[in-house]
Amino acid sequence: MYAALGIHRCMPHSHGSQGCCSYHRSHLTRHHKEPAMATTSSFTEGASVFGGLSNMTQALKNIFSIYEPDIVAVHTTCLSEVIGDDIPMMIKKSQEDGTIPPGKHVIHTNTPSFTGSHVTGFANMVRSTLRYLAENTGTPRDQLNILPGYVDPADMREIKRLAGLMGVNAVVLPDTSNVLDTAQTGTYEMYPKGGATVDQIRSTGDSIATLALGHFASLPAATELENKCNVPSVPLDLPFGLGPTDAFIDALRQYGAADVPEQIEEERGRLVDLMGDLHQYFFEKRVAVCGDPDHVIALVQFLVELDMKPAYVFTGTPGQHFERRIAEILKDHAPNAIIKQNADMFELHQLMKREPVDLLIGNTYGKYIARAENVPLVRFGFPILDRAGHRCFPAAGYMGAMRLVEKMSDALLDKKDRECDEEWFELVQ
């Protein structure tokens, strides 16, 4: 659903029961503090027995006649997957009988909730979008594809800003900036101005290369495009922190044949200066990190750059790449760190009880552990349900890294001020 909202004038469609769609919409709305629009096939008991064809057909008729999108992106739910609905057949039939108006598009991806995590579903939708729409016309375009991964709209905006400063023409897919962080104008728009257009997505097959930011969320789509249209895929970590952002800027420089402007060099220099100024507060601090795998991989690199000690590194998404990559990052810095994929926060909590940490970094669900163990929490990733600022300020790029440094140092120093003896309660830290 989130990936589909990053396509311009797209209506995400949940092929299953109403509850599935409602839960996904509410979670996105609570995180972004913006309405997340989507439709549903509204399965009842009959669809479980006879299949969802009639539900899909009626849904598409209603969607195109009432909401008038340019494209509908269908994702399946557990129920439609279990009964074995043939979505490509349904789309083909709807095209043949005129249910899909001329010039409009319907794409689909398979997203059973018993396979992987929300990151897996996001990756599937981005990959399917390129499989349906990307074209290779044989005429190369002077542009790069950037697959930003499962990041906030502010991060996508920052990624575009950095590419723009370097003069690189980029197609960003998906792009939820100006979709789930729109300005308050007093007028509701079902389809805001943001999102990658169908024409832009088509053009990705003629691009110079695809920068896939994140192994889990973006690399499957980049590989799909490379196999389909021979566009080289360039796997990168999310540009969070110093090193991964350096790698992203260098890839823009190399594949976009661009120079790095002074403004970006100055932003990097300010980050390095801030890291040096606060190094004494970060040095050797034990940290627990949990969240989406691409977020955690980049963040752990940043913690190493700050001379912190990741003690527990967890993700709920399955995939052996996570454990291998984190072990590679920490092999010389924190070789005894406990690294787990497809894990849960209960296990993380038990480990923290036995051997405490100085800082916890993760989404809102970590607040229960932080409260129980009296550990400072820095909210990071998805979902953040009890704060609002994350949707406005990026974590990506050098500017985003500076914000992360500030949040981590504030959390550590606030705890010190709260709990230290009177003689150590200092005006100047």
**What does the pLDDT average to over 102-112?**
95
Sheet arrangement for strand 233-236:
170-172, 144-147, 209-213, 233-236
**What does the pLDDT average to over 333-345?**
96
Domain 265-423 in the same topology as domain 2-115: yes
Looking at residue 97, its pLDDT comes to: 94
> How many C-alpha atoms does 134 have within 13 Å on its Cβ side?
25
**What does the pLDDT average to over 202-214?**
98
Residue among 78, 229, 260, 272 flagged as catalytic? 78
Q: What's the whole-number average pLDDT of the chain?
A: 95
Name the superfamily (CATH) of residues 2-115.
Answer: Nitrogenase molybdenum iron protein domain (3.40.50.1980)
20 catalytically annotated: no
Whether the predicted pLDDT of 391 surpasses 90: no
pLDDT tier, 51 (very low <50, low <70, confident <90, very high otherwise): confident
Looking at residue 202, its pLDDT comes to: 97
Model confidence pLDDT, tens digit, residues 221-276: 999 999 999 999 999 999 999 999 999 999 999 999 999 999 999 999 999 999 99
Looking at residue 74, its pLDDT comes to: 97
Task: Give the integer Cα–Cα distance in Å for 69 and 282.
Answer: 49
Whether the predicted pLDDT of 429 surpasses 90: no
pLDDT over 90 percentage in the chain: 90
Domain ranges in the chain are 2-115, 144-261, 265-423
Looking at residue 229, its pLDDT comes to: 97
Q: Of 304, 358, 308, whose CA–CA distance to 327 is shortest?
A: 304
pLDDT tier, 46 (very low <50, low <70, confident <90, very high otherwise): confident
Residue among 49, 82, 119, 420 flagged as catalytic? 82
pLDDT tier, 52 (very low <50, low <70, confident <90, very high otherwise): confident
Looking at residue 389, its pLDDT comes to: 86
CATH of domain 265-423: 3.40.50.1980
Q: What is the full DSSP assignment across 204-250?
A: GGGSSEEEEE-TTTTHHHHHHHHHHH-PPEEEE--SBSHHHHHHHHH
**What does the pLDDT average to over 21-26?**
92
Name the superfamily (CATH) of residues 144-261.
Answer: Nitrogenase molybdenum iron protein domain (3.40.50.1980)
Whether the predicted pLDDT of 48 surpasses 90: no
**What does the pLDDT average to over 133-144?**
96
Q: Position 411: which residue type?
A: A
Cβ atoms of 239 and 248 within 8 Å: the answer is yes
Sheet arrangement for strand 359-362:
338-340, 309-314, 286-290, 359-362, 377-379
Q: What is the full DSSP assignment across 128-153?
A: HHHHHH----S---S-EEEE--S--H
pLDDT tier, 331 (very low <50, low <70, confident <90, very high otherwise): very high
Looking at residue 136, its pLDDT comes to: 96
Q: Is 33 helix (H, G, I), strand (E, B) or coil?
A: coil
The number of residues in the chain equals 429
Sheet arrangement for strand 10-15:
39-40, 10-15, 71-76, 105-109
Whether the predicted pLDDT of 415 surpasses 80: yes
Q: Is 71 helix (H, G, I), strand (E, B) or coil?
A: strand
Whether the predicted pLDDT of 63 surpasses 90: yes
Task: Give the integer Cα–Cα distance in Å for 14 and 24.
Answer: 9
Looking at residue 351, its pLDDT comes to: 97
Peptide bond into 383 cis (omega under 30): yes
pLDDT over 70 percentage in the chain: 100
Whether the predicted pLDDT of 50 surpasses 80: no
Helix %, strand %, coil % of the chain (to 5): 50, 15, 35
313 catalytically annotated: no
Task: Give the integer Cα–Cα distance in Å for 4 and 196.
Answer: 10
Alpha helices in 84-190 (DSSP H): 87-96, 118-133, 153-165
Task: Give the integer Cα–Cα distance in Å for 389 and 315.
Answer: 23
Task: Give the integer Cα–Cα distance in Å for 118 and 214.
Answer: 14
Looking at residue 427, its pLDDT comes to: 87
